[in-house]
Amino acid sequence: MSIELHYVDSGEPEQAETSPLVVLHGLFGSADNWRSHIKHWRQKRRVVAMDLRNHGRSPHTPGMHYEDMAADVLSVLDRLDIQKCDLLGHSMGGKVAMTLARRHPERVARLIVADIAPVAYEHGHNDVFQAHRLVEDALPESRKEADEAMAEAVDDRITRQFLATNLVRDDQGILGWRVGLDFIEEGYSDIVAPPGGNAPYEGPTLVLRGEHSSYVTDDALSVIGEIMPEARVDTIQGAGHWLHAEQPEAFLKAVDSFLKG
Could you state, in chain order, the average pLDDT of each consecutive group of 10 residues for the chain (261 residues)?
A: 93 80 97 96 95 97 97 98 97 98 98 98 90 97 97 93 95 96 96 97 98 95 97 97 95 96 82
The verdict on pTM exceeding 0.75 is yes
Residue 123, pLDDT score: 74
135 with 113, same domain? no
CATH at residue 52: 3.40.50.1820
Q: d(Cα 111, Cα 3) in Å, to the nearest integer?
A: 23
84 with 153, same domain? no
Give exposure, 110-126, as e/b (b: 16+ Cβ within 10 Å).
bbbbbbbbbbebeeebe
112 with 165, same domain? no
Range of the domain at 208: 7-120+193-260
Residue positions annotated with a catalytic role = 91, 182, 241
Q: d(Cα 75, Cα 62) in Å, to the nearest integer?
A: 18
Residue type, 189: S
Q: How many domains does the chain have?
A: 2
Query: What is the separation, in whole angstroms, between the first and last Cα of the chain?
Result: 36
